[in-house]
Copies of this chain bind each other. A is one copy, B any other.
């Protein structure tokens, strides 16, 4: 994202990036300051120089993840497209790329486990939900206003959809016998059709939503 203004910021970015990689490779709790220092190619002391507590590095990583996610949503929301297509973009962003999904959830699950006991981490995980909720609710309301969607409780519909998205990825992630991400995508579309699209216009809904699958992705963990 925004290019570092000075040397100090550049170092911070280096450290944050290296740490994210290490979390992916080894898991949150296995990463040591020595690992980070080695990866960046500096001494251990320098990590502490920029981030007084080890915890601070991990919080900076999380902050970066959250801000990238939010930036993505801005893109989806401002696009000029039918609501169903906007939702479809969100699905694709989540389900469209196996490796990316695995990477994203690898860190998110690690951070969730931390969030249970670290209030500062919990605040960030909450931000993630708030982003999803805010933007998806906006899209659903748009759809309802334009008559594309039935008039339902938008907040509740988003909660259900968001729940299904998360829950499906978790199944895919931990249950090898479940399904692939394409199926997860289709199930979200299916739910959208059944729950949001009026009976009359439902039949071609599938085709329209599914047609918009192949699109470029931006968020990279």
Q: CB distance A177 to B126 under 8 Å?
A: yes
Check if A163 is an interface residue, CB within 8 A of chain B. yes
Query: Which residues in chain A, 113-137, are within 8 Å of chain B measured between CB atoms?
Result: 113, 115-117, 122, 125-126, 129-130, 133
Bin chain A's interface residue count.
35 or more
Tell me, yes or no, whether A55 is within 8 Å of chain B by CB: no
- A174-194 contacts to B, CB under 8 A, are 174-179, 183, 187, 190-191, 194
Does residue A42 face the partner (Cβ distance < 8 Å to B)?
no
Q: Are B133 and A174 in contact (CB under 8 A)?
A: no
Identify the A interface with B (CB < 8 A): 26-30, 106, 109-110, 112-113, 115-117, 122, 125-126, 129-130, 133, 156, 159-160, 162-168, 170-171, 174-179, 183, 187, 190-191, 194-195
Do A174 and B115 contact each other (CB < 8 Å), given the known contacts A167-B167, A191-B160, A195-B194?
yes
